[in-house]
């Protein structure tokens, strides 16, 4: 029997291509369905979007309807597996600081939808009383959500891999490029792997596998700028967003009330909007902050991060929290797939192959829910 790195290469029910969070989510869903699973990745470990992100598992603000439901389901699965897999939940919940009356109006409208369940709108006094260290002088209030979780992705993903290997008997084949997928034959740089079914989760690699299928979705790439700042000297009570997030995250941005806010922001923060900047701040176990982000789109966004985008992110941090940004410790960029007309897709190149791409920069927040749908579709 063929073996590579001491691992048997045949007899699998499911082969997953891609060990990012979407691939790992599919490995879990398949293993929970009783399948023998192999995960194949060209890298030694996930090194792309899945570890460059905030690790912010966001429910509030996800697009109303299916995507919001997928996020709730994904959050529940993260909560279930975190302690089993030894993954630390670094933070819970979300505070959206509100500095404009137009932003308060959007938050009120949001609370009146089904998505507002469990969330609350604080006035300026209550915001200051409960969250003083991050209440800017001009803060008018805050929207607070209890639904979110935050993990440190570069630490969480290896733990998820180790747990899938040891508890769910998932085989991992790393530093192995997949060239063709035609189950039961999967041709790789280490030879043929055999599996009944294949699930391809290639992130923003649009050209190696099923390029013609991928092309039908008219995808582009989005490049984001990210920063790690030194400790601000206090614990952030929850991850933080701001007014700008209300015109970016579709759960708020699609509300009619967001249009007035968008017009105000276009006048007052044109450079931020031009760089696709909104604010997310999360905090790590060592108290350092992960801060972002900007959004630049293209077929191949260059790796050069504009200084203006970084300046806008730091500026929004100062405005939204009233805190002067601590020194920058690290900078990086990341990219993910985007589509104009959908948040993700599950494509079927054949009966026993699925191609799954999250096209809205929300894979950590929705991947586990999407994976359950893929497995239900394949094995119904």
What letter does residue 238 receive in the DSSP assignment? S
- As measured in angstroms, the least distance from the Cβ of 165 to ligand FAD is 16
Residues 6+ apart with CB under 8 A from 214: 206, 207, 355, 357
Q: Are 89 and 80 in contact (CB under 8 A)?
A: no
Environment class of 290 (CB within 10 Å of its CB; exposed 0-12, middle 13-18, buried 19+): buried
Task: Map residue 145 onto helix, strand or coil.
Answer: strand
> Taking each helix axis from N to C terminus, what angle separates 66-85 and 21-32, rounded to the nearest 10 degrees?
80
Q: How far is the CB of 310 from ligand FAD (least distance, A)?
A: 13
For ligand FAD, the closer of residues 139 and 222 by Cβ is 222
Q: C-beta of 124: minimal distance to ligand FAD in Å?
A: 28
**104 vs 364 by CB, closer to ligand FAD:** 364
Closer Cβ to ligand FAD, 97 or 335, answer by number: 335
Angle, CA 158 vertex, CA 78 and CA 19 arms, to 5°: 85
Which residue, 22 or 98, has its beta carbon nearer to ligand FAD?
Answer: 22
Q: Which is nearer to ligand FAD, 26 or 128 (CB)?
A: 26
Residue 178 Cβ vs ligand FAD, minimum distance, rounded to whole Å: 4
Cβ distance to ligand FAD smaller for residue 49 or 139: 49
How far apart are CB 376 and ligand FAD at their closest, in Å? 19
At closest approach, how far in Å is the CB of 240 from ligand FAD?
13
CB of 357 to ligand FAD, least distance (A): 6
Instruction: Catalog residues that contact ligand FAD under the rule CB under 6 A.
Output: 17-23, 40-43, 46, 48-50, 52-56, 58, 177-178, 201-205, 208-209, 224, 226, 293, 334-336, 358, 361-365
Q: List helix spans (H) across the chain.
A: 21-32, 49-52, 66-85, 101-111, 124-131, 153-168, 211-215, 250-253, 258-268, 270-274, 307-321, 363-378
Q: From CA 272, how far away is CA 244, in angstroms rounded?
A: 8
Which burial class, exposed, middle or buried, applies to 209 when counting CB atoms under 10 A from its CB (0-12, 13-18, 19+)? buried
The smaller minimum CB distance to ligand FAD, of residues 48 and 141, is found at: 48
Q: Does the bond joining 46 to the residue before it have cis omega, within 30 degrees of 0?
A: no
């Amino acid at each position: 029997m063929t073996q590579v790195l001491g691992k048997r290469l045949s007899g699998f029910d499911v082969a997953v291509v891609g060990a990012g969070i979407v691939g790992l989510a599919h490995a879990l869903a398949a293993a929970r369905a009783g399948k023998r699973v192999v995960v194949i990745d060209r890298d030694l470990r996930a090194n792309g979007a899945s570890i460059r992100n905030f690790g912010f598992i966001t429910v509030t603000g996800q697009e109303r309807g299916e995507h919001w439901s997928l996020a709730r389901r994904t959050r529940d699965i993260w909560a279930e597996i975190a302690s089993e897999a030894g993954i630390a939940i670094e933070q819970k919940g979300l505070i959206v600081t509100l500095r404009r009356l137009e932003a308060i109006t959007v938050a009120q409208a949001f609370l009146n939808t089904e998505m507002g369940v469990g969330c609350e709108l604080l006035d300026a006094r209550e915001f200051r009383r409960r969250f003083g260290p991050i209440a800017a002088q001009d803060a008018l209030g805050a929207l607070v959500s209890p639904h979110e979780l935050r993990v440190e992705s570069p630490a969480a993903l290896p733990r998820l891999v180790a747990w899938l290997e040891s508890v769910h008997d998932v085989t991992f084949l790393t530093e192995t490029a997949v060239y063709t997928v035609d189950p039961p034959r999967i041709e790789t740089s280490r030879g043929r792997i055999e599996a009944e079914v294949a699930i391809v989760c290639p992130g923003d690699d649009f050209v190696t596998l099923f390029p013609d299928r991928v092309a039908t979705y008219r995808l582009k790439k989005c490049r984001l700028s990210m920063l790690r700042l030194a400790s601000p000297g206090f614990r952030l009570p929850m991850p933080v967003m701001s007014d700008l997030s209300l015109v970016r995250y579709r759960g708020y941005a699609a509300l009619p009330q967001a249009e007035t806010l968008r017009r105000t922001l276009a006048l007052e923060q044109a450079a931020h909007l031009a760089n696709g900047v909104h604010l997310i701040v999360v905090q790590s176990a060592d108290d350092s902050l992960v801060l972002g982000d900007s959004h630049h789109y293209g077929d191949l966004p260059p790796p050069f991060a504009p200084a203006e985008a970084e300046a806008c992110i730091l500026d929004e941090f100062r405005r939204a929290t009233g805190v002067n940004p601590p020194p920058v410790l690290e900078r990086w960029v990341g990219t993910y797939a985007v589509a104009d007309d959908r948040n993700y897709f599950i494509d079927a190149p054949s009966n026993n192959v699925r191609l799954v791409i999250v096209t809205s920069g929300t894979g950590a927040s929705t991947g586990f829910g999407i994976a359950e749908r893929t497995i239900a579709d394949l094995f119904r």
